[in-house]
Protein backbone atom coordinates (compact mmCIF):
# COMPACT_ATOMS: atom_id res chain seq x y z
CA UNK A 1 0.00 0.00 0.00
CA UNK A 2 2.78 2.35 0.93
CA UNK A 3 4.57 1.42 -2.32
CA UNK A 4 1.43 2.13 -4.36
CA UNK A 5 1.07 5.53 -2.72
CA UNK A 6 4.69 6.25 -3.54
CA UNK A 7 4.07 5.44 -7.23
CA UNK A 8 0.98 7.67 -7.39
CA UNK A 9 2.87 10.51 -5.75
CA UNK A 10 5.78 10.08 -8.17
CA UNK A 11 3.39 10.20 -11.15
CA UNK A 12 1.80 13.34 -9.83
CA UNK A 13 5.20 14.98 -9.67
CA UNK A 14 6.46 13.86 -13.08
CA UNK A 15 3.32 14.49 -15.17
CA UNK A 16 3.26 18.08 -16.42
CA UNK A 17 0.55 20.33 -15.09
CA UNK A 18 -2.46 20.51 -17.47
CA UNK A 19 -4.27 22.97 -15.32
CA UNK A 20 -3.98 26.29 -17.11
CA UNK A 21 -7.03 28.13 -18.44
CA UNK A 22 -7.08 30.35 -21.50
CA UNK A 23 -9.98 32.72 -22.05
CA UNK A 24 -10.29 34.46 -25.41
CA UNK A 25 -12.67 37.38 -25.86
CA UNK A 26 -13.37 38.34 -29.48
CA UNK A 27 -14.56 41.88 -28.99
CA UNK A 28 -16.06 43.02 -32.26
CA UNK A 29 -17.99 40.47 -34.29
CA UNK A 30 -20.04 42.53 -36.73
CA UNK A 31 -22.43 39.94 -38.14
CA UNK A 32 -24.04 36.72 -36.95
CA UNK A 33 -23.26 35.10 -40.28
CA UNK A 34 -21.00 32.06 -40.54
CA UNK A 35 -18.56 30.81 -37.95
CA UNK A 36 -15.82 32.10 -35.66
CA UNK A 37 -12.79 29.85 -35.91
CA UNK A 38 -9.98 29.84 -33.36
CA UNK A 39 -6.69 28.08 -33.62
CA UNK A 40 -4.82 27.78 -30.31
CA UNK A 41 -1.17 27.14 -31.13
CA UNK A 42 1.21 25.77 -28.51
CA UNK A 43 4.71 26.61 -29.71
CA UNK A 44 6.07 28.03 -32.94
CA UNK A 45 5.97 24.68 -34.72
CA UNK A 46 2.20 24.74 -34.66
CA UNK A 47 2.18 28.22 -36.18
CA UNK A 48 4.57 27.09 -38.89
CA UNK A 49 2.26 24.20 -39.69
CA UNK A 50 4.87 21.61 -38.71
CA UNK A 51 2.23 19.95 -36.55
CA UNK A 52 -1.45 20.39 -35.87
CA UNK A 53 -2.53 23.14 -33.54
CA UNK A 54 -3.14 22.01 -30.00
CA UNK A 55 -6.79 22.78 -30.30
CA UNK A 56 -9.20 24.42 -32.69
CA UNK A 57 -12.66 25.76 -32.04
CA UNK A 58 -15.40 26.46 -34.54
CA UNK A 59 -18.56 28.10 -33.31
CA UNK A 60 -21.51 29.84 -34.94
CA UNK A 61 -20.90 33.60 -34.91
CA UNK A 62 -22.90 35.90 -32.68
CA UNK A 63 -22.91 39.66 -33.21
CA UNK A 64 -21.00 41.49 -30.50
CA UNK A 65 -18.36 40.01 -28.21
CA UNK A 66 -17.91 36.23 -27.92
CA UNK A 67 -15.95 34.52 -25.18
CA UNK A 68 -14.17 31.18 -25.53
CA UNK A 69 -12.53 29.30 -22.70
CA UNK A 70 -10.13 26.38 -22.90
CA UNK A 71 -9.08 24.71 -19.66
CA UNK A 72 -6.64 22.00 -18.68
CA UNK A 73 -3.94 23.32 -21.00
CA UNK A 74 -0.25 22.76 -20.33
CA UNK A 75 1.68 25.86 -19.34
CA UNK A 76 3.95 27.35 -21.97
CA UNK A 77 4.18 29.59 -25.01
CA UNK A 78 1.01 30.12 -27.04
CA UNK A 79 -0.51 32.15 -29.84
CA UNK A 80 -4.02 32.34 -31.23
CA UNK A 81 -5.30 32.86 -34.74
CA UNK A 82 -8.90 33.93 -35.25
CA UNK A 83 -10.98 34.26 -38.37
CA UNK A 84 -14.62 34.96 -39.02
CA UNK A 85 -15.66 32.65 -41.83
CA UNK A 86 -18.68 34.74 -42.75
CA UNK A 87 -19.70 32.76 -45.81
CA UNK A 88 -18.99 29.36 -44.20
CA UNK A 89 -16.74 28.13 -46.97
CA UNK A 90 -14.13 26.91 -44.50
CA UNK A 91 -11.40 29.37 -45.44
CA UNK A 92 -10.24 32.94 -44.99
CA UNK A 93 -11.23 34.55 -48.27
CA UNK A 94 -8.96 37.13 -49.81
CA UNK A 95 -9.45 39.50 -52.71
CA UNK A 96 -7.71 39.84 -56.08
CA UNK A 97 -4.56 41.24 -54.50
CA UNK A 98 -4.43 39.00 -51.42
CA UNK A 99 -6.01 41.29 -48.82
CA UNK A 100 -8.28 39.19 -46.56
CA UNK A 101 -11.91 39.94 -47.28
CA UNK A 102 -13.13 38.30 -44.07
CA UNK A 103 -12.29 39.44 -40.51
CA UNK A 104 -9.13 38.02 -38.96
CA UNK A 105 -6.91 38.57 -35.92
CA UNK A 106 -4.00 37.20 -33.93
CA UNK A 107 -3.26 37.14 -30.21
CA UNK A 108 -1.83 40.35 -28.78
CA UNK A 109 -3.75 41.94 -31.70
CA UNK A 110 -0.54 41.51 -33.68
CA UNK A 111 -0.48 42.63 -37.31
CA UNK A 112 2.21 41.85 -39.83
CA UNK A 113 3.82 43.59 -42.72
CA UNK A 114 3.32 42.01 -46.13
CA UNK A 115 1.92 38.85 -44.53
CA UNK A 116 0.96 37.40 -41.16
CA UNK A 117 2.66 38.77 -38.04
CA UNK A 118 5.82 37.24 -36.63
CA UNK A 119 5.52 34.58 -33.91
CA UNK A 120 7.28 36.87 -31.47
CA UNK A 121 4.55 39.49 -31.92
CA UNK A 122 1.65 37.11 -31.31
CA UNK A 123 3.10 34.77 -28.64
CA UNK A 124 2.23 34.90 -24.94
CA UNK A 125 3.03 32.81 -21.86
CA UNK A 126 0.19 30.75 -20.44
CA UNK A 127 0.47 30.22 -16.74
CA UNK A 128 -2.54 30.04 -14.46
CA UNK A 129 -5.51 31.81 -16.01
CA UNK A 130 -5.05 34.28 -18.83
CA UNK A 131 -7.50 36.33 -20.88
CA UNK A 132 -6.67 37.51 -24.40
CA UNK A 133 -8.90 40.32 -25.69
CA UNK A 134 -8.84 40.29 -29.46
CA UNK A 135 -10.14 42.83 -31.96
CA UNK A 136 -10.97 41.43 -35.37
CA UNK A 137 -9.49 43.32 -38.30
CA UNK A 138 -12.29 43.97 -40.78
- Residue choice 10, 32, 52, 71 for contact with another protein (CB under 8 A): 52
Nearer to another protein, 77 or 93 (CB): 93
**Residue-wise DSSP of 61-80:** --SEEEEEEEEEEPSEEEEE
User: Could you tell me which residues are beta bridge partners of residue 131?
Assistant: 23
Nearer to another protein, 5 or 97 (CB): 97
Binding mask 6-45 for another protein (x = CB under 8 A): -------------------------------x-x------
Q: Confirm if 88 and 35 have CB atoms less than 8 A apart.
A: yes
Between CA 100 and CA 79 the distance in angstroms is 20
Q: Does 5 bind another protein (CB under 8 A)?
A: no
| Alpha carbon distances (Å) from 101 to 44, 46, 120 | 26, 24, 25
Q: Does 91 bind another protein (CB under 8 A)?
A: yes
To another protein, the closest distance from the beta carbon of 23 in angstroms equals 20
Q: Which residues contact 96 (CB under 8 A, 6 or more apart)?
A: none
The site for another protein (CB under 8 A) is made up of: 37, 39, 47, 49, 52-53, 56, 58, 81, 83, 90-101, 104, 109, 111-116, 137-138
Amino acid sequence: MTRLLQIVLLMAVSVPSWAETLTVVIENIETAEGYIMLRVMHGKGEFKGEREALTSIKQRAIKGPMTFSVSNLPAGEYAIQVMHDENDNGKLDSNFIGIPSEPWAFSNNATGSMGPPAWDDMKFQLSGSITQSIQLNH
